[in-house]
A and B are shown apart, each in its own frame.
Chain A
């Protein structure tokens, strides 16, 4: 688990470095082609940098209000939704945040959740009604932990930084293409051979077209990498990777798109709300494929895919309104024996396996209250080192 976290952080910083490199290359070539010297390029980069930063600062400070308004979320208090509120508070304690984030509910039936906020002091988390209905307590806890981890890891800030870089790249490339032709390349060059000039101009044009696209792909790669990081950090909070795996399984099973989500806000949700069920990680996906995320989590839990649909409750633990609490669990550092079979109430809605996930989800059970015994609690679940 700690290794996952470290690996994801490293990868996202490397990708950020890639963006800086693209930017540097663009500036260098641009300066060479237009001003006859790379230093001119740097000056121009500075100007565009300021523009992009101002543009992003506005988004950074009021972005969470905008996103919440667009998503149709309404705030809830402890009295409205005690279970959700308690879960958010529990995760706040586990994460050591100064205070719980503002909690919102989106009145939609599709299960999904998102978190926003530039730092832990100013965070908000929203879940859909469908999520609260579909997941049991520990799965909901896993999802909330994932979302709080986005806040903990300053993912909004990181994404804004990446956005600034991509924005500057796009602006510079645009400028290059627009004014390069009319400004006249090499006008200020004193002497020099014509053929060298043409090569540089050609390079500049190619880069101007390719760079924004490449930058966009890097931005999406960063988004995917931070999703994996949030999964691993969420497990660091709950010490329960199986619960998050099961939650993702259920969320992915519902393929209806979320009404209020659009391309701008899609990357904030736990699973792509615009619903393109894929098996491989496309270069233009904001989220990694669910199967991969589930596989990573199952490996952390040292269990096989059959654990995704196994019963977790002693028979008779009903509660159609979903308010039956799970028996208390005590994850001490010594890894004391878990409560009987990791008990919590049975899933209320058995997940329907979507077409692409037959390999991950076990064949349907005949009845929800299966008579086969629950699998033993995964050994070492509470003390997985990595």
Chain B
């Protein structure tokens, strides 16, 4: 794992002191709320429905036990004993006081963490594959690249006041677990015929009110050219991105209105001069950073406890089937800890749960923890012999739910329970769907349900196999359903199913979709999304609305 050097340490401390002074100036009135806003946002501090919300970066989703324990401490000392893990690999604390925030940031700095650029119109926390460095299917660990981008984008003087927020994701595997096609810039590591690493550069993807699947503007960018090329893209966007309408300010609109070819030309025009500005220091840092992400020293031991549990314990087998992913070392496994117990708030973890996970990572997981964009927690390097003990400890703490990738493993934004922008509740919908589908989800298999409480789409509903968008229709919550979305390398936006549902009608409607899938699939090997793409919308539409031309069940208030 990357460790802060002296520069990182003093930089983060300086930022805490700078923000402490900005808070003082806000409190004494020398900064107006309007003037203070971009500075608090640059430090992750939002004003929400009921209180301030602090969003802490977990860069590329990687942390260790000490950092996880500190998050638990912050939750206990300055919040209400829990935190919420988000779809961008951050953790949010929902109840901090403005005066306490500088102290919280200082507590984060103590463990090499920060909340810098987790909001505001700047380059946000860089996200990556939550199985990075562990998964059997990757070309190379993408986290060193993400760390390089973190450093480059931190306090970049040109890009702190962009037209709108800017999100970058990077994956090192052809299997895209980082949703790179729905980011402002997505980077997919590729290796050319001569064995050189580089990137496929995707630009202009995004969800929100205008969902767009990103476009490739460079098939192969040599790794050494990464920072100047990113800088060229950001320069073009900062210069010509729209500032007259916040809903048209994201780069996806810039690319669309400029035209992909014209946009590419502008980027390529700027690239050579920027390339000359980087004189090799970035490559030195890149090498140092990569060395810091060396693989753990794997244990060489028999896997017999695992094998025995697989043979004799059906509940363990169920857990292994869903929550275990192949590690590049065959004696190891990647264990995903579900934060989606049926009826729980997706992504929430109590301080006790955080401490338990920290203990397990330290005892059994080479001290590494990951946060996934699907709002679960991952132990990326676990020897198989230890997995039965881990599962037992998790189950005792209510963290043993065997549902990763199943219908109840739902992404949901905070929705109207917390968020000032929300138009409907998300969390209770997720809880009810999870409970409703509990008994059939094993039979249904892989099914990604994603719920957003407003059109800003923090819950990624556009790319859910089943997407749910909560809206406000004349004072009543109304939920629109989309079908057939895909967040992976075969990214696809879901299709609107038809009229929306009330909250009460929605839950049985989702169950009808799941049951219809079981009827329509060719066999158990054909997943929900595969069935949808083969059979089309019609069988699912009729499951939702019945055979009648006018849906009888749906209310359109």
Determine if chain A interacts with chain B.
no
